[in-house]
Amino acid sequence: METYLNLCVSEDILNVDEHESLPVDSDYPLLKRFAGYQDDISQPEFINSGTQGCVFRFKYNGHDLCLKVFRNWEYPRSLHDAMPFNVSRKTQRLLTPFARECRAFARLCDLQQNGTWAVRCHGWMYLSDNQIAPLKKISMKLRRDPEWVNARWAIVKDFLPGPPTSADLPAIFSNFDIAKKARILPGDAFAKNYRGPFIVDLGSSATFPFPRHFASQYSFDRFYKCCPEGVFEEDWLGSLIDE
């Protein structure tokens, strides 16, 4: 379990109901642990799966939460052919979707912005045999796919069922200021990755400072120079639900 400790996660417990006395802006953000990391996964329901992970809904203290279990990830096979091969193990781990998402949520937590631009995060967990067992029963990928059978790293978030609507656009647009101040470059700000006004998938994001071969200050500046008009093209807007 040491793979990500002190790289993008810490063993401190994340209290989503309290803020630190002063916000912290660290170059090395570490996501804190989910408070219920030792509890059983109660009433799990398979939601969907993608290239990065399987998503489940479950009950915790009477609330619906979302659990994203990340698949096993290898460099450079999980990236495109133009990526350099002489990359340190530390950098390889920073490039994983799990580490990317942890660092982005950790930065937002440090700045007391958890649940503002992105969905509220409840922390990370490393699933035990007993915790993964009920998930394997309802997910064939976790049960049979070689890239998923040993998947244990997960992030817990609020469960938000509703897709974005046209009424959410003003908040979606203005909330990019939060991401910019947090020095987060989103990798896939698409409608499918939003629930209401909140982005829910940060597995392709780059939280600066970031390995320079994989995300540059130029790309960060260019994104926010064009944002939001350059991000929300006609096909994105066409997928919104009108209220």
pLDDT score of 111 more than 80: yes
Q: What is the pLDDT of residue 236?
A: 60
The pLDDT assigned to 231 comes to 63
Show the DSSP H helices in the chain as ranges.
Answer: 89-94, 97-110, 129-138, 140-144, 169-174, 176-181, 217-226, 234-238
80: pLDDT strictly greater than 70: no
Going 72 to 217 to 30 to 50, the CA torsion angle's sign is negative
- Which fold, 9-238? Phosphorylase Kinase; domain 1 (3.30.200)
Percentage of the chain surpassing pLDDT 90? 63
Handedness of CA 33, 201, 81, 144 (dihedral sign): positive
DSSP strand E in the chain: where? 9-13, 31-33, 42-49, 53-60, 63-70, 121-126, 153-158, 184-185, 194-195, 198-199, 206-207
Q: Looking at residue 72, what is its pLDDT?
A: 87
What residues have CB less than 8 Å from 136, skipping those under 6 apart?
142, 143
d(CA 42, CA 119): 21
CB proximity list for 228: less than 8 A, separation 6 or greater:
172, 173, 176
Buried b (16+ CB within 10 A) or exposed e, 85-106: eebeeeebbbbbbbbbbbbbbb
Q: Would you place residue 132 in the very low, low, confident or very high pLDDT band (cuts 50, 70, 90)?
A: very high
Low-confidence winner among 9-23, 131-145, 161-175 (lowest mean pLDDT): 9-23
Highest mean pLDDT among 64-78, 123-137, 164-178, 226-240: 123-137
- Is the per-residue pLDDT at 74 higher than 70? yes
Residues with Cβ within 8 Å of 232's Cβ and at least 6 positions away in sequence, in order, are: 169, 172, 173
Q: Is the pLDDT of residue 78 over 60?
A: no
pLDDT tens figures, 142-159: 888 887 878 999 999 999
CB 41 within 8 A of CB 138: no
pLDDT of residue 210: 94
Closest Cα partner for 57 from 147, 141, 145, 134? 134
Query: What is the mean pLDDT of the segment spanning 170-189?
Result: 93
What residues contact 143, with CB distance under 8 A and at least 6 apart?
136, 137, 149
**Choice among 26-40, 98-112, 137-151, 179-193 with the minimum mean pLDDT:** 137-151
Residue with the two structure tokens 């580490």 = 99
CA 160 → CA 47, 147, 209, distances in Å? 11, 27, 30
Q: Does pLDDT of 17 surpass 80?
A: yes
Least confident range of 50-59, 73-82, 157-166, 174-183? 73-82
Taking the alpha carbons at both ends of the chain, their separation in whole angstroms is 45
| pLDDT at position 18 | 78
Q: What is the pLDDT of residues 211-221, one digit of tens each?
A: 988 899 999 99
Q: Who wins on pLDDT, 233 or 201?
A: 201
H helix count then E strand count, the chain = 8, 11
Looking at residue 137, its pLDDT comes to: 94
Domain ranges (residues) in the chain: 9-238
CB of 50 within 8 A of CB of 70? no
Does the pLDDT of residue 238 top 70, yes or no? Answer: no
Q: Which residues does 114 contact at the CB level (< 8 Å), separation at least 6?
A: 16, 105, 108, 120, 121
pTM: 0.92
Of the listed ranges 11-15, 165-169, 203-207, 228-232, the one predicted with least confidence: 228-232
